[in-house]
Amino acid sequence: EEQLVESGGGLVQPGGSLRLSCAASGFTFSRYWMSWVRQAPGKGLEWVANIRQDGNEENYVDSVKGRFTISRDNVKNSLYLQMDSLRAEDTAVYYCARHQGDVFDFNWFDPWGQGTLVTVSS
């Protein structure tokens, strides 16, 4: 079964840092682009960042550029999100998701993990 499992969420103070992890299983992780998507409380889904199969291309939503860093380890079948200079508005459930299809053609998110909650508060 193809599966993604996030971990690393928790409570952090404004200005603090947190590193999220996503463990992939059931498929060849190194063959796929991967993304992080978040959902703030009571809000909709927001794409955060994605990364190419070899880790040599990354894209970010403007609101996290310079503060968040996406990375991957294809040996450990894991995706990461390093979050620095955290703000209250970063409070959300963070999902990792695989890009299915061709990123330069039709592509969609499938599967998704169950999410990990990040709360930024003093």
Binding of other proteins by 114 (CB under 8 A): yes
At 91, list the tokens.
């409070």
Q: In what order do the strands lie in the sheet with 18-25?
A: 3-7, 18-25, 78-83, 68-73
Q: How far is the CB of 39 from other proteins (least distance, A)?
A: 8
Q: Select the residue interacting with other proteins from 85, 89, 101, 121 (CB under 8 A).
A: 101
State which H helix or E strand residue 49 sits in. strand 45-51
Whole-number Å distance between alpha carbons of 122 and 100: 38
The residue written with tokens 């990354």 in the block is: 58
Binding of other proteins by 68 (CB under 8 A): no
Instruction: Convert residues 37-66 into a mask of x (bound to other proteins by CB under 8 A) and - (unbound).
Output: x------xxxx--x--------xxxx----
Binding of other proteins by 1 (CB under 8 A): no
> By three-state DSSP, how is residue 64 classified?
helix
Footprint of other proteins (CB under 8 A) = 35, 37, 44-47, 50, 59-62, 95, 97, 100-101, 106-115
